[in-house]
Amino acid sequence: MPPPLSRRAFLKTATVASAALTFPRLLRARSGETPSNRLSIGLIGNGLICHSHYDALINRDDCRIIACCDVNLAKARAMRDRVEHHYSLESPTGRSRGVDAYQYHEQLLARPDIDAVFVCVPDHWHVAVAKAAMIAGKDVYCEKPLTLDIAEGRPLVETARRHGRILQTGTQQRSNAAFRRAATIVRNRLIGDITRVRTRLGHFPPAPDLGAEPVPAEFDYDRWLGQTPWRPYNPRRVLGDYGGGWRCFLEYGGRKNGDWGAHHFDIIQWALGMDHSGPVEFIPQGYEGTPFQTHVYADGVRVERVGDNDIKSMIEFTGTHGTVWVSRGDYIETDPPSLVTRPFRADEIHLYASNDHHSDFFHAVRTRQHPIADVEIGHRSATVGHLNNIAARVQRPVRWDPAKEEIIDDAVASALLTRPRRAPYGTL
C-alpha cells in the first residue's frame, strides 16, 4: 500500500475541489453607514479558546473586534488590551482605541454597532448567550458543543430561524479538506455500504473534589456558574484547559462525549447524511458485554467509541468495499488508496465545501445563507454526545426517535434530556 497522500498533493486537490470564497459586501443589519465594509465583532468569553479566535480574527481585513466580555472582568480587560495593542501597531498614529471591555454579555449585546459575536464561554453558557445574541439581532459563531443538554437545542434552532440569524457552530473539522473528502467518499458509497465506524475521543481525568477558595476581585463567580448547581469557587473549577479544568465536570459540559464527540460525531453524522437526523439506539460500554460505547443508526451502521490506541486515526469508516481513515493534520488514508485523490463525478454528491471555518461564517453573514455548521447541524451533533452520556448514566440501551427528538419508552432517561436550571439563570 502506498503511503497516504502527501499533504502537498492533497492540498492541491482540495484547492481545486473546494470553493474559492469571496467576500461580498456586507448587507449591514444595523442602521447607519460605516466607512468600511468590515464586520464589527464582539468576543464573549475571553478565556482559552477565545485566544484561538483572536489569532484567527485579528489579522483579517473583513472584520474588526470592537468589544470583549467576560464575567471575570480582568480577562475582558486583558483581551481588550491585546486587541488594542495589535490594532495600534497597524495604526499610522501608533494608537488604537475603541475596544470596550464588559463583564456581562447583555451589555455587549445592547450595542447596535456589533454585527456578530463569538460565543467562547464554557459549554453551560453557550445557548443562553447565543440565544440572547440572536434575539438582539446579532449573528453568532458559537463554540462546540452547541448545547449543554438536548432540551436546549430545538429552541435555539427555532430562535435562529425566527429571527433570520446566522449561527456557525465551532466544529471546524467540517472546514478541513481531509474530513470533507472522507465524508464525501463515505456519502458516495465509494467504499460500499458502511458497516462500522470507529472513533476515539480520549479521556479526561475524574472531576476533582474541590474546596472553597476566595473569589478573585471583579469575577462574578455566581454568574460563571449560571444555571448549574451551586459549588464553591475554586480556580481549578473555572480553569480553561483542554486536558482538564471545567471540561472534567459533567455540570459544565459532556466531558469527552461533548468536548471531542462534538467534533468526531459531527463528522460521522455528515458522512452518513444524518445532519438532520441521528442514531436510533445508544448502548453504554459494559452493557451485556458491549466492549465499547456504541450508537446505532437506523440502517444498522454502528459507531463505536474505541480506545485511543485501538485505531490509527481519529475516525475510521469501514465499508463493504474499503476503509477510510481520517484525522486532524490533513491526514487521510484510504483502502483502496486511489480514493484519496480521485475527483468526484458531476453526478456524485458534492458536500458543502469550506476551507476556513471563520471565512465560511463571514461569508454566510454577508450572503445570509446557512453556514457549513448551521445551528441545526450543531444541535444534532451535540445530541449524539448527550444521548451517549444519558445511556451511560442509566446503564442501559436508550432508544431514540430522531424525528420526534424523543427517547422511546424510558421515563428515567427521558428526564435526563433536560437539566434543572438554577434560577435566575437559564430558561429554555
Q: Which of positions 276-335 make contact with another protein (CB under 8 A)? A: 327-329
Binding of residue 250 to another protein (CB under 8 A): no
**Shortest distance, CB of residue 92 to another protein, whole angstroms?**
28
Which CB sits closer to another protein, 242 or 300?
242
Which CB sits closer to another protein, 92 or 217?
217
The contacts found for 30-38 with CB under 8 angstroms, 24 or more apart, are 30/112, 30/113, 30/114, 30/115, 30/137, 31/112, 32/113, 34/113, 36/64, 37/62, 38/62, 38/63, 38/64
Which CB sits closer to another protein, 33 or 95?
33
- Which of 97, 343, 403, 409 is the binder for another protein (CB under 8 A)? 343
**Shortest distance, CB of residue 95 to another protein, whole angstroms?**
22
Judged by CB under 8 A, how many residues of this single chain contact another protein? 105
**Shortest distance, CB of residue 113 to another protein, whole angstroms?**
13
**Shortest distance, CB of residue 362 to another protein, whole angstroms?**
13
Q: How far apart, in Å, are the Cα atoms of 163 and each of 32, 67, 349, 373, 422? A: 20, 23, 31, 18, 27
- Which of 64, 181, 366, 386 is the binder for another protein (CB under 8 A)? 366
Q: How many residues does the chain have?
A: 428
**Shortest distance, CB of residue 72 to another protein, whole angstroms?**
10
DSSP bridge partners of 65: 41
Sign of the four-CA dihedral 297, 271, 23, 80: positive
- Which of 11, 210, 280, 311 is the binder for another protein (CB under 8 A)? 210
**Shortest distance, CB of residue 297 to another protein, whole angstroms?**
24
**Shortest distance, CB of residue 318 to another protein, whole angstroms?**
18
Site for another protein in 123-162 (CB under 8 A): 135-137, 158, 162
Choose the stretch contacting another protein; rule: CB under 8 A; options: 202-210, 254-262, 278-286, 354-362: 202-210
- Which of 306, 341, 356, 405 is the binder for another protein (CB under 8 A)? 341
Which CB sits closer to another protein, 301 or 339?
339
Choose the stretch contacting another protein; rule: CB under 8 A; options: 11-19, 140-148, 286-294, 380-388: 11-19
Query: What Rg, from alpha-carbon coordinates, does the chain have?
Result: 22
**Shortest distance, CB of residue 1 to another protein, whole angstroms?**
7
Which CB sits closer to another protein, 95 or 345?
345
- Which of 11, 58, 239, 306 is the binder for another protein (CB under 8 A)? 239
What is the rounded distance in angstroms from the CA atom of residue 188 to the CA atom of residue 182? 10
- Which of 87, 179, 219, 361 is the binder for another protein (CB under 8 A)? 219
- Which of 285, 322, 367, 405 is the binder for another protein (CB under 8 A)? 367
- Which of 60, 96, 285, 425 is the binder for another protein (CB under 8 A)? 425
**Shortest distance, CB of residue 295 to another protein, whole angstroms?**
21
Which CB sits closer to another protein, 219 or 362?
219
Choose the stretch contacting another protein; rule: CB under 8 A; options: 83-91, 175-183, 203-211, 261-269: 203-211
**Shortest distance, CB of residue 402 to another protein, whole angstroms?**
19
**Shortest distance, CB of residue 275 to another protein, whole angstroms?**
14
Site for another protein in 45-104 (CB under 8 A): 46-48, 50-52, 55, 75, 78-79, 103-104
